[in-house]
A and B are shown apart, each in its own frame.
Chain A
Amino acid sequence: MTDAEIELIARAAGLQTALEQYRADVKAAAEEAERLRAALKGPLTAADEPWPPMTVRKP
Protein backbone atom coordinates (compact mmCIF):
# COMPACT_ATOMS: atom_id res chain seq x y z
CA MET A 1 0.00 0.00 0.00
CA THR A 2 1.48 3.35 -0.99
CA ASP A 3 1.42 6.41 1.25
CA ALA A 4 -1.17 7.96 -1.02
CA GLU A 5 -3.41 4.89 -0.74
CA ILE A 6 -3.04 4.88 3.03
CA GLU A 7 -4.02 8.53 3.19
CA LEU A 8 -7.02 7.96 0.92
CA ILE A 9 -8.35 5.08 3.02
CA ALA A 10 -7.64 6.86 6.29
CA ARG A 11 -9.55 9.94 5.15
CA ALA A 12 -12.44 7.79 3.94
CA ALA A 13 -12.49 6.18 7.40
CA GLY A 14 -12.70 9.59 9.04
CA LEU A 15 -9.19 9.52 10.48
CA GLN A 16 -8.19 13.06 9.40
CA THR A 17 -7.18 14.06 12.93
CA ALA A 18 -5.08 10.94 13.37
CA LEU A 19 -3.45 11.57 9.99
CA GLU A 20 -2.48 15.07 11.01
CA GLN A 21 -1.26 14.23 14.50
CA TYR A 22 -0.20 10.56 14.36
CA ARG A 23 0.70 9.83 10.74
CA ALA A 24 3.25 7.16 11.72
CA ASP A 25 0.62 5.32 13.77
CA VAL A 26 -1.82 5.40 10.86
CA LYS A 27 0.86 3.98 8.57
CA ALA A 28 1.71 1.24 11.08
CA ALA A 29 -1.96 0.29 11.30
CA ALA A 30 -2.24 0.09 7.52
CA GLU A 31 0.87 -2.08 7.32
CA GLU A 32 -0.49 -4.46 9.94
CA ALA A 33 -3.73 -4.79 7.97
CA GLU A 34 -1.67 -5.65 4.88
CA ARG A 35 0.22 -8.32 6.82
CA LEU A 36 -3.01 -9.85 8.10
CA ARG A 37 -4.58 -9.88 4.64
CA ALA A 38 -1.51 -11.61 3.23
CA ALA A 39 -1.51 -14.15 6.04
CA LEU A 40 -5.07 -15.36 5.44
CA LYS A 41 -4.35 -18.59 3.63
CA GLY A 42 -6.18 -21.63 2.35
CA PRO A 43 -8.69 -22.00 -0.47
CA LEU A 44 -12.28 -20.91 -0.13
CA THR A 45 -15.15 -21.98 -2.35
CA ALA A 46 -18.43 -20.20 -2.96
CA ALA A 47 -20.06 -22.75 -0.66
CA ASP A 48 -17.93 -21.76 2.33
CA GLU A 49 -20.19 -19.66 4.53
CA PRO A 50 -19.12 -17.37 7.36
CA TRP A 51 -19.48 -17.94 11.08
CA PRO A 52 -22.03 -17.77 12.59
CA PRO A 53 -24.48 -19.27 10.12
CA MET A 54 -27.65 -17.23 9.66
CA THR A 55 -30.47 -18.50 11.82
CA VAL A 56 -34.02 -17.24 12.23
CA ARG A 57 -34.96 -16.78 15.85
CA LYS A 58 -38.39 -17.54 17.19
CA PRO A 59 -40.52 -14.40 17.49
Chain B
Amino acid sequence: MSVDLPWLTIAETQALYASRKLSPVELVTALLARIEKLDPQLNVFIRLDAEAALAAARTAGQEIAAGRARGPLHGIPVGIKDIIDVAGLPTTCHSKILAGNVAAADAPAVASLRAAGAVVLGKLSTHEFAFGGPSFDLPFPPARNPWDRTRHPGGSSSGSGAGVAAGFFPAALGSDTAGSIRNPASACGCVGLKPTYGRVSRRGVFPLAFSLDHVGPLARSVADAALVTEAIAGFDPADPGSANWPKPALTPALGQGVRSLRIGFVRHFHETDMPADPEVAAGLEAAATLLEKEGAQVRSVTLPNLKDASALTRTIMHAEAWAIHAEWLRARPGDYGLLSRKRLMTGAFLTAADYVDAQRRRLKLIAAVEEVFRDVDVLLCASSMDPPCRIDDDEAIGRTYPRQARNPFNTTGHPALAMMSGLSKDGLPLSLQFVGRAQDEATVLRTAAAFERASGVAKLHPNLP
Protein backbone atom coordinates (compact mmCIF):
# COMPACT_ATOMS: atom_id res chain seq x y z
CA MET B 1 0.00 0.00 0.00
CA SER B 2 1.37 3.45 -0.93
CA VAL B 3 -0.54 5.30 1.79
CA ASP B 4 1.69 7.00 4.35
CA LEU B 5 0.15 5.33 7.39
CA PRO B 6 1.86 7.33 10.19
CA TRP B 7 0.43 10.63 8.97
CA LEU B 8 -3.16 9.59 8.25
CA THR B 9 -5.88 11.70 9.82
CA ILE B 10 -8.74 9.95 11.56
CA ALA B 11 -11.11 10.80 8.70
CA GLU B 12 -8.63 9.48 6.11
CA THR B 13 -8.24 6.29 8.14
CA GLN B 14 -12.00 5.76 8.32
CA ALA B 15 -12.30 6.23 4.58
CA LEU B 16 -9.69 3.51 4.05
CA TYR B 17 -11.43 1.22 6.56
CA ALA B 18 -14.78 1.78 4.86
CA SER B 19 -13.35 0.96 1.42
CA ARG B 20 -11.55 -2.15 2.79
CA LYS B 21 -8.19 -0.74 1.65
CA LEU B 22 -6.90 -0.84 5.22
CA SER B 23 -7.84 -2.73 8.37
CA PRO B 24 -7.29 -1.72 12.00
CA VAL B 25 -4.91 -4.68 12.42
CA GLU B 26 -2.83 -3.52 9.44
CA LEU B 27 -2.65 0.01 10.81
CA VAL B 28 -1.82 -1.02 14.38
CA THR B 29 0.78 -3.51 13.14
CA ALA B 30 2.46 -0.81 11.06
CA LEU B 31 2.43 1.68 13.92
CA LEU B 32 3.81 -0.89 16.39
CA ALA B 33 6.69 -1.54 13.98
CA ARG B 34 7.34 2.21 13.75
CA ILE B 35 7.23 2.51 17.54
CA GLU B 36 9.63 -0.41 17.94
CA LYS B 37 12.03 1.24 15.52
CA LEU B 38 11.88 4.85 16.68
CA ASP B 39 10.79 4.92 20.30
CA PRO B 40 14.18 3.92 21.74
CA GLN B 41 15.28 7.41 20.63
CA LEU B 42 12.09 9.25 21.64
CA ASN B 43 10.93 7.58 24.91
CA VAL B 44 7.26 8.22 24.18
CA PHE B 45 5.99 5.04 25.83
CA ILE B 46 6.31 4.04 29.46
CA ARG B 47 4.27 0.93 28.79
CA LEU B 48 3.43 -0.34 25.31
CA ASP B 49 0.51 -2.81 25.41
CA ALA B 50 1.00 -4.32 21.95
CA GLU B 51 -0.86 -7.58 22.53
CA ALA B 52 -4.00 -5.91 23.88
CA ALA B 53 -3.85 -3.31 21.11
CA LEU B 54 -3.72 -5.97 18.41
CA ALA B 55 -6.60 -7.84 20.04
CA ALA B 56 -8.69 -4.65 20.15
CA ALA B 57 -7.77 -3.91 16.54
CA ARG B 58 -8.89 -7.40 15.50
CA THR B 59 -12.22 -6.90 17.23
CA ALA B 60 -12.68 -3.49 15.65
CA GLY B 61 -11.86 -4.88 12.22
CA GLN B 62 -14.39 -7.69 12.62
CA GLU B 63 -17.10 -5.26 13.74
CA ILE B 64 -16.43 -2.86 10.87
CA ALA B 65 -16.40 -5.72 8.36
CA ALA B 66 -19.72 -6.94 9.76
CA GLY B 67 -21.28 -3.53 9.19
CA ARG B 68 -21.27 -2.60 12.86
CA ALA B 69 -19.01 0.47 12.67
CA ARG B 70 -19.35 2.47 15.88
CA GLY B 71 -18.28 5.85 14.56
CA PRO B 72 -15.25 7.94 13.65
CA LEU B 73 -12.94 6.56 16.35
CA HIS B 74 -13.59 2.90 15.64
CA GLY B 75 -10.27 1.16 15.13
CA ILE B 76 -8.28 4.36 15.72
CA PRO B 77 -5.07 3.89 17.79
CA VAL B 78 -4.60 6.24 20.74
CA GLY B 79 -2.07 6.76 23.52
CA ILE B 80 -2.87 7.61 27.14
CA LYS B 81 -0.80 9.84 29.43
CA ASP B 82 0.45 7.83 32.37
CA ILE B 83 -1.47 9.76 35.01
CA ILE B 84 -4.75 8.47 33.52
CA ASP B 85 -6.03 5.04 34.54
CA VAL B 86 -6.22 2.24 32.00
CA ALA B 87 -7.64 -0.94 33.52
CA GLY B 88 -5.00 -3.58 34.16
CA LEU B 89 -2.04 -1.29 33.44
CA PRO B 90 0.11 0.57 35.97
CA THR B 91 -0.53 4.27 36.47
CA THR B 92 2.94 5.33 37.58
CA CYS B 93 2.74 9.09 36.99
CA HIS B 94 6.32 8.57 35.77
CA SER B 95 7.34 8.23 39.42
CA LYS B 96 8.95 5.75 41.76
CA ILE B 97 6.28 6.74 44.29
CA LEU B 98 3.57 4.89 42.34
CA ALA B 99 5.58 1.97 40.96
CA GLY B 100 3.28 -1.05 40.75
CA ASN B 101 0.08 1.00 41.06
CA VAL B 102 -2.12 -1.04 38.72
CA ALA B 103 -5.43 0.59 37.75
CA ALA B 104 -8.54 -1.41 38.55
CA ALA B 105 -10.72 0.38 36.01
CA ASP B 106 -10.52 2.71 33.03
CA ALA B 107 -10.85 6.42 33.73
CA PRO B 108 -14.17 7.59 32.21
CA ALA B 109 -12.25 9.46 29.48
CA VAL B 110 -10.54 6.20 28.50
CA ALA B 111 -13.77 4.22 28.81
CA SER B 112 -15.44 6.70 26.45
CA LEU B 113 -12.69 6.23 23.88
CA ARG B 114 -12.97 2.46 24.13
CA ALA B 115 -16.76 2.63 23.81
CA ALA B 116 -16.24 4.62 20.62
CA GLY B 117 -14.01 1.79 19.38
CA ALA B 118 -10.58 3.39 19.86
CA VAL B 119 -7.58 1.09 20.31
CA VAL B 120 -5.41 1.89 23.34
CA LEU B 121 -1.73 1.37 22.48
CA GLY B 122 -0.31 2.04 25.93
CA LYS B 123 0.77 4.54 28.56
CA LEU B 124 2.84 7.61 27.74
CA SER B 125 5.66 9.57 29.33
CA THR B 126 4.85 12.58 31.45
CA HIS B 127 6.63 14.89 33.81
CA GLU B 128 6.60 13.26 37.24
CA PHE B 129 3.06 13.69 38.63
CA ALA B 130 2.47 16.07 35.70
CA PHE B 131 4.75 18.55 37.45
CA GLY B 132 8.43 17.68 37.74
CA GLY B 133 10.26 17.55 34.45
CA PRO B 134 11.98 17.09 32.17
CA SER B 135 13.96 14.89 34.55
CA PHE B 136 16.73 12.35 34.17
CA ASP B 137 16.47 11.01 37.74
CA LEU B 138 13.16 9.15 37.38
CA PRO B 139 12.40 5.45 36.72
CA PHE B 140 11.80 6.22 33.03
CA PRO B 141 13.68 8.57 30.69
CA PRO B 142 12.02 11.79 29.52
CA ALA B 143 10.35 11.93 26.11
CA ARG B 144 12.26 13.67 23.32
CA ASN B 145 11.07 16.09 20.67
CA PRO B 146 10.61 14.34 17.27
CA TRP B 147 11.58 17.53 15.42
CA ASP B 148 14.99 17.43 17.10
CA ARG B 149 15.60 14.85 19.77
CA THR B 150 18.04 17.13 21.58
CA ARG B 151 15.08 19.46 22.26
CA HIS B 152 12.48 19.47 24.99
CA PRO B 153 9.09 18.16 23.78
CA GLY B 154 7.20 20.29 26.30
CA GLY B 155 5.24 18.92 29.17
CA SER B 156 3.83 17.61 31.17
CA SER B 157 1.99 15.52 28.55
CA SER B 158 5.37 14.96 26.86
CA GLY B 159 4.77 11.48 25.46
CA SER B 160 1.34 12.49 24.17
CA GLY B 161 2.77 15.40 22.15
CA ALA B 162 5.92 13.60 21.01
CA GLY B 163 4.02 10.45 20.01
CA VAL B 164 1.43 12.33 17.98
CA ALA B 165 4.13 14.35 16.24
CA ALA B 166 6.23 11.23 15.57
CA GLY B 167 3.38 9.46 13.80
CA PHE B 168 3.01 6.78 16.50
CA PHE B 169 -0.75 7.42 16.88
CA PRO B 170 -3.10 10.09 15.50
CA ALA B 171 -4.37 11.20 18.90
CA ALA B 172 -3.65 10.93 22.60
CA LEU B 173 -5.08 11.96 25.94
CA GLY B 174 -3.24 14.48 28.05
CA SER B 175 -3.96 16.56 31.12
CA ASP B 176 -3.60 20.30 31.56
CA THR B 177 -3.24 22.01 34.95
CA ALA B 178 -1.09 24.95 33.92
CA GLY B 179 -0.71 24.30 30.19
CA SER B 180 0.36 20.65 30.11
CA ILE B 181 -1.61 19.71 26.99
CA ARG B 182 -0.85 22.94 25.15
CA ASN B 183 2.86 23.04 25.97
CA PRO B 184 3.75 19.76 24.22
CA ALA B 185 1.36 20.65 21.41
CA SER B 186 3.34 23.88 21.00
CA ALA B 187 6.77 22.28 21.24
CA CYS B 188 5.95 19.31 19.03
CA GLY B 189 3.89 21.14 16.40
CA CYS B 190 0.56 19.41 16.93
CA VAL B 191 -2.88 20.43 18.18
CA GLY B 192 -3.73 20.40 21.89
CA LEU B 193 -7.10 21.34 23.31
CA LYS B 194 -7.86 22.10 26.94
CA PRO B 195 -11.65 21.96 27.01
CA THR B 196 -13.73 24.11 29.36
CA TYR B 197 -13.30 23.22 33.05
CA GLY B 198 -15.97 20.62 33.80
CA ARG B 199 -16.35 19.42 30.20
CA VAL B 200 -14.37 16.15 30.56
CA SER B 201 -14.35 13.92 33.64
CA ARG B 202 -11.12 13.89 35.63
CA ARG B 203 -12.04 10.78 37.59
CA GLY B 204 -9.33 8.16 37.34
CA VAL B 205 -6.77 10.87 36.56
CA PHE B 206 -4.16 11.46 39.26
CA PRO B 207 -4.73 15.06 40.40
CA LEU B 208 -2.16 17.82 40.40
CA ALA B 209 -4.40 20.71 41.46
CA PHE B 210 -8.09 19.97 41.72
CA SER B 211 -9.43 23.36 40.67
CA LEU B 212 -7.08 23.68 37.68
CA ASP B 213 -6.96 20.12 36.29
CA HIS B 214 -8.41 19.42 32.84
CA VAL B 215 -8.32 16.39 30.52
CA GLY B 216 -8.19 16.79 26.76
CA PRO B 217 -6.78 15.60 23.44
CA LEU B 218 -3.58 16.06 21.50
CA ALA B 219 -3.83 15.29 17.79
CA ARG B 220 -2.18 16.07 14.45
CA SER B 221 -5.17 17.97 13.12
CA VAL B 222 -7.90 20.20 14.48
CA ALA B 223 -10.60 17.86 13.17
CA ASP B 224 -9.03 14.91 14.97
CA ALA B 225 -8.86 16.90 18.22
CA ALA B 226 -12.55 17.75 17.78
CA LEU B 227 -13.50 14.10 17.25
CA VAL B 228 -11.68 12.97 20.39
CA THR B 229 -13.21 15.79 22.44
CA GLU B 230 -16.69 14.86 21.26
CA ALA B 231 -16.05 11.31 22.43
CA ILE B 232 -14.68 12.11 25.90
CA ALA B 233 -16.93 15.04 26.82
CA GLY B 234 -19.82 14.40 29.17
CA PHE B 235 -21.19 14.77 32.67
CA ASP B 236 -19.77 12.54 35.38
CA PRO B 237 -21.62 12.88 38.69
CA ALA B 238 -18.71 11.15 40.44
CA ASP B 239 -16.32 13.98 39.48
CA PRO B 240 -17.06 16.99 41.72
CA GLY B 241 -15.78 19.35 39.02
CA SER B 242 -17.84 17.86 36.22
CA ALA B 243 -20.51 20.07 34.69
CA ASN B 244 -23.92 18.80 33.65
CA TRP B 245 -23.83 20.17 30.12
CA PRO B 246 -25.04 18.45 26.94
CA LYS B 247 -22.34 16.71 24.90
CA PRO B 248 -21.05 19.25 22.38
CA ALA B 249 -21.23 18.87 18.60
CA LEU B 250 -17.83 20.18 17.58
CA THR B 251 -17.24 18.90 14.07
CA PRO B 252 -20.16 20.51 12.16
CA ALA B 253 -18.70 24.03 12.43
CA LEU B 254 -15.14 23.13 11.45
CA GLY B 255 -15.59 24.08 7.82
CA GLN B 256 -17.44 27.34 8.37
CA GLY B 257 -14.37 29.58 8.22
CA VAL B 258 -13.87 32.81 10.12
CA ARG B 259 -15.68 35.34 7.95
CA SER B 260 -17.06 38.10 10.22
CA LEU B 261 -15.73 36.33 13.32
CA ARG B 262 -14.44 38.86 15.87
CA ILE B 263 -10.96 37.86 17.06
CA GLY B 264 -9.37 39.62 20.04
CA PHE B 265 -5.58 39.61 19.70
CA VAL B 266 -3.90 39.73 23.14
CA ARG B 267 -0.72 41.37 21.89
CA HIS B 268 0.48 42.65 25.25
CA PHE B 269 1.05 39.09 26.49
CA HIS B 270 3.96 38.59 24.09
CA GLU B 271 4.93 42.22 23.37
CA THR B 272 5.32 43.70 26.85
CA ASP B 273 4.29 41.28 29.63
CA MET B 274 6.71 38.54 28.56
CA PRO B 275 8.48 39.68 25.38
CA ALA B 276 8.55 36.72 23.03
CA ASP B 277 11.29 35.39 20.81
CA PRO B 278 11.12 37.43 17.57
CA GLU B 279 10.19 34.40 15.48
CA VAL B 280 7.31 33.55 17.84
CA ALA B 281 6.08 37.15 17.70
CA ALA B 282 6.36 37.23 13.91
CA GLY B 283 4.40 33.98 13.69
CA LEU B 284 1.60 35.47 15.78
CA GLU B 285 1.40 38.60 13.62
CA ALA B 286 1.41 36.46 10.48
CA ALA B 287 -1.43 34.36 11.89
CA ALA B 288 -3.48 37.48 12.64
CA THR B 289 -2.90 38.75 9.11
CA LEU B 290 -3.86 35.39 7.62
CA LEU B 291 -7.08 35.23 9.65
CA GLU B 292 -7.95 38.77 8.51
CA LYS B 293 -7.46 37.66 4.91
CA GLU B 294 -9.84 34.80 5.64
CA GLY B 295 -12.46 37.37 6.62
CA ALA B 296 -12.09 37.69 10.40
CA GLN B 297 -12.15 41.02 12.20
CA VAL B 298 -8.97 41.14 14.29
CA ARG B 299 -8.57 43.79 16.98
CA SER B 300 -6.21 44.20 19.94
CA VAL B 301 -7.70 43.50 23.36
CA THR B 302 -6.33 43.89 26.86
CA LEU B 303 -6.41 41.33 29.67
CA PRO B 304 -4.74 41.52 33.10
CA ASN B 305 -0.94 41.37 33.04
CA LEU B 306 0.27 37.90 32.15
CA LYS B 307 2.86 37.74 34.93
CA ASP B 308 0.25 38.59 37.56
CA ALA B 309 -2.17 36.01 36.20
CA SER B 310 0.58 33.42 36.08
CA ALA B 311 1.59 34.03 39.71
CA LEU B 312 -2.03 33.61 40.70
CA THR B 313 -2.30 30.27 38.93
CA ARG B 314 0.97 28.98 40.34
CA THR B 315 -0.01 29.91 43.88
CA ILE B 316 -3.22 27.93 43.59
CA MET B 317 -1.42 25.04 41.91
CA HIS B 318 1.34 24.80 44.52
CA ALA B 319 -1.10 24.98 47.44
CA GLU B 320 -3.40 22.30 46.05
CA ALA B 321 -0.52 20.07 44.96
CA TRP B 322 1.00 20.23 48.45
CA ALA B 323 -2.29 19.07 49.92
CA ILE B 324 -2.13 16.02 47.64
CA HIS B 325 1.54 15.15 48.12
CA ALA B 326 2.26 16.22 51.72
CA GLU B 327 2.18 12.74 53.24
CA TRP B 328 4.55 11.26 50.65
CA LEU B 329 6.86 14.26 50.84
CA ARG B 330 7.06 13.84 54.62
CA ALA B 331 7.73 10.11 54.47
CA ARG B 332 9.49 9.50 51.14
CA PRO B 333 11.08 12.70 49.82
CA GLY B 334 13.88 10.69 48.26
CA ASP B 335 11.48 8.77 46.06
CA TYR B 336 10.63 11.94 44.12
CA GLY B 337 12.86 13.36 41.42
CA LEU B 338 14.69 16.58 42.25
CA LEU B 339 12.36 18.88 40.29
CA SER B 340 9.15 17.43 41.73
CA ARG B 341 10.50 17.51 45.26
CA LYS B 342 11.43 21.17 45.04
CA ARG B 343 8.24 22.22 43.28
CA LEU B 344 5.83 20.17 45.38
CA MET B 345 7.28 21.37 48.70
CA THR B 346 6.62 24.99 47.73
CA GLY B 347 3.05 24.66 48.93
CA ALA B 348 4.28 23.95 52.45
CA PHE B 349 5.50 27.54 52.63
CA LEU B 350 2.32 29.18 51.39
CA THR B 351 -0.20 30.23 54.00
CA ALA B 352 -3.94 29.67 54.03
CA ALA B 353 -4.33 33.38 53.37
CA ASP B 354 -2.04 33.18 50.32
CA TYR B 355 -4.27 30.49 48.86
CA VAL B 356 -7.52 32.25 49.67
CA ASP B 357 -6.24 35.57 48.32
CA ALA B 358 -5.20 33.86 45.09
CA GLN B 359 -8.70 32.42 44.82
CA ARG B 360 -10.19 35.88 45.44
CA ARG B 361 -8.03 37.32 42.66
CA ARG B 362 -9.11 34.41 40.50
CA LEU B 363 -12.67 35.72 40.37
CA LYS B 364 -11.36 39.08 39.19
CA LEU B 365 -9.37 37.40 36.43
CA ILE B 366 -12.41 35.39 35.34
CA ALA B 367 -14.47 38.60 35.27
CA ALA B 368 -11.82 40.38 33.18
CA VAL B 369 -11.76 37.60 30.59
CA GLU B 370 -15.56 37.47 30.50
CA GLU B 371 -15.64 41.22 29.93
CA VAL B 372 -13.39 40.93 26.88
CA PHE B 373 -15.68 38.25 25.47
CA ARG B 374 -18.53 40.75 25.38
CA ASP B 375 -16.89 42.27 22.30
CA VAL B 376 -15.07 39.37 20.65
CA ASP B 377 -15.86 35.76 19.79
CA VAL B 378 -12.44 34.21 20.31
CA LEU B 379 -8.97 35.26 21.49
CA LEU B 380 -5.67 34.85 19.68
CA CYS B 381 -2.55 34.97 21.84
CA ALA B 382 0.83 33.37 22.37
CA SER B 383 1.23 29.88 23.77
CA SER B 384 4.99 29.45 24.33
CA MET B 385 7.16 32.56 24.14
CA ASP B 386 10.14 30.56 22.88
CA PRO B 387 10.86 27.68 20.51
CA PRO B 388 11.68 24.42 22.32
CA CYS B 389 15.10 24.59 24.00
CA ARG B 390 17.63 21.83 24.56
CA ILE B 391 16.32 19.18 26.93
CA ASP B 392 19.64 18.89 28.77
CA ASP B 393 20.08 22.64 29.31
CA ASP B 394 18.75 23.18 32.84
CA GLU B 395 19.25 26.93 32.64
CA ALA B 396 17.27 27.23 29.39
CA ILE B 397 14.54 24.93 30.69
CA GLY B 398 14.24 26.98 33.87
CA ARG B 399 14.20 30.26 31.95
CA THR B 400 11.78 29.33 29.16
CA TYR B 401 9.32 27.07 30.99
CA PRO B 402 7.46 29.88 32.79
CA ARG B 403 7.44 32.05 29.64
CA GLN B 404 3.99 30.97 28.48
CA ALA B 405 0.46 32.35 28.19
CA ARG B 406 -1.45 29.15 28.90
CA ASN B 407 -1.97 28.96 32.64
CA PRO B 408 -4.33 31.98 33.00
CA PHE B 409 -6.96 29.92 31.20
CA ASN B 410 -6.60 27.04 33.64
CA THR B 411 -7.46 29.56 36.32
CA THR B 412 -10.45 30.93 34.41
CA GLY B 413 -11.52 27.56 32.97
CA HIS B 414 -12.03 28.87 29.43
CA PRO B 415 -11.38 26.45 26.54
CA ALA B 416 -7.97 26.98 24.94
CA LEU B 417 -6.20 25.35 22.01
CA ALA B 418 -2.53 25.51 21.09
CA MET B 419 -1.17 24.64 17.67
CA MET B 420 1.76 25.24 15.36
CA SER B 421 1.98 28.66 13.72
CA GLY B 422 4.91 27.62 11.53
CA LEU B 423 8.54 26.60 11.77
CA SER B 424 11.53 28.57 13.03
CA LYS B 425 14.58 29.09 10.87
CA ASP B 426 16.06 26.12 12.75
CA GLY B 427 13.13 23.95 11.73
CA LEU B 428 11.48 23.90 15.17
CA PRO B 429 7.74 24.36 15.79
CA LEU B 430 6.46 27.82 16.72
CA SER B 431 3.06 28.13 18.31
CA LEU B 432 -0.08 30.16 18.93
CA GLN B 433 -3.19 29.80 21.06
CA PHE B 434 -6.92 30.35 20.55
CA VAL B 435 -9.19 30.84 23.59
CA GLY B 436 -12.98 30.77 23.62
CA ARG B 437 -15.94 31.55 25.80
CA ALA B 438 -16.85 28.95 28.43
CA GLN B 439 -18.43 25.91 26.75
CA ASP B 440 -17.63 27.31 23.29
CA GLU B 441 -15.01 24.83 22.15
CA ALA B 442 -16.81 24.88 18.79
CA THR B 443 -15.68 28.42 17.96
CA VAL B 444 -12.13 27.73 19.16
CA LEU B 445 -11.93 24.67 16.91
CA ARG B 446 -13.60 26.43 13.99
CA THR B 447 -11.04 29.26 14.17
CA ALA B 448 -8.15 26.82 14.51
CA ALA B 449 -9.43 24.79 11.55
CA ALA B 450 -9.60 27.92 9.39
CA PHE B 451 -6.02 28.81 10.34
CA GLU B 452 -4.89 25.23 9.72
CA ARG B 453 -6.38 25.22 6.20
CA ALA B 454 -5.05 28.64 5.28
CA SER B 455 -1.55 28.10 6.68
CA GLY B 456 -1.01 24.48 5.72
CA VAL B 457 0.67 23.69 9.05
CA ALA B 458 -0.97 20.26 9.35
CA LYS B 459 1.11 19.10 6.38
CA LEU B 460 4.37 19.74 8.26
CA HIS B 461 5.91 16.68 9.90
CA PRO B 462 9.27 16.03 11.54
CA ASN B 463 11.90 14.43 9.35
CA LEU B 464 11.96 10.94 10.84
CA PRO B 465 13.15 7.76 9.12
Contacts and interface: CB of A to CB of B under 8 A. Distances in A.
Interface in A6-59: 6, 9-10, 13-18, 21-22, 25-26, 28-30, 32-34, 36-37, 39-42, 44, 48-52
B326 A14 contact: yes
B333 A36 contact: no
Contacts of A21: 333-334
Interface stretch (B24-32, B102-110, B115-123, B359-367): B359-367
Interface in B302-358: 304, 307-308, 311-312, 314-315, 318, 326, 329-331, 333-334, 338, 341-350, 354, 356-358
B330 A40 contact: no
A43 B420 CA distance: 37
Nearest to B331: A17
Contacts, number: 108
Contact of B345 (A15, A42, A44, A52): A15
Nearest to B347: A33
Given A13-B348, A25-B338, A36 B318 contact: yes
A14 B322 CA distance: 12
B329 to A, nearest CB: 6
A27 B366 CA distance: 33
Contacts of B359: 50-51
A25 B33 CA distance: 42
10 shortest interchain CB distances as A-B pairs: A39-B311, A33-B349, A50-B359, A29-B345, A13-B348, A18-B333, A14-B330, A51-B362, A29-B346, A48-B360
B331 A40 contact: no
24 contacts: A1-B349, A6-B349, A9-B348, A15-B348, A17-B333, A22-B334, A25-B333, A25-B338, A28-B342, A29-B342, A30-B349, A32-B343, A33-B348, A33-B349, A33-B350, A33-B354, A36-B314, A36-B354, A37-B315, A40-B308, A40-B358, A42-B304, A42-B364, A51-B211
Most chain-A Cβ atoms within 10 A of its Cβ — which of B333, B338, B343, B350? Answer: B333
B343 A29 contact: yes
Nearest to A48: B360
A26 B211 CA distance: 25
Quick one: which of B314, B344, B348 has the most chain A CB within 10 A? Answer: B348
Contacts of A18: 329-330, 333, 341, 345
Interface residues of A, number: 32
A23 to B, nearest CB: 11
B345 A50 contact: no
Q: Is the interface of A mostly helix, strand, loop or mixed?
A: helix
- Summarize B's interface: helix, strand, loop or mixed: helix
A14 B343 CA distance: 16
A16 B332 CA distance: 11
Nearest to A29: B345
A29 B340 CA distance: 10
Given A33-B347, A40-B354, A44-B361, 8 more contacts: A10-B348, A14-B330, A15-B330, A18-B341, A30-B346, A39-B308, A40-B311, A48-B363
B211 to A, nearest CB: 8
Given A36-B315, A48-B363, A50-B362, A26 B356 contact: no
A29 B326 CA distance: 13
B308 A42 contact: yes
A33 B311 contact: no
Most buried by A among B314, B344, B360: B360
B241 to A, nearest CB: 10
Contacts of A40: 308, 311-312, 315, 354, 357-358, 361
B310 to A, nearest CB: 8
Contacts of B358: 40
A30 B354 CA distance: 14
A36 B364 contact: no
A25 to B, nearest CB: 5
A9 B419 CA distance: 42
A22 to B, nearest CB: 6
A52 to B, nearest CB: 8
Contacts of B354: 33, 36-37, 40
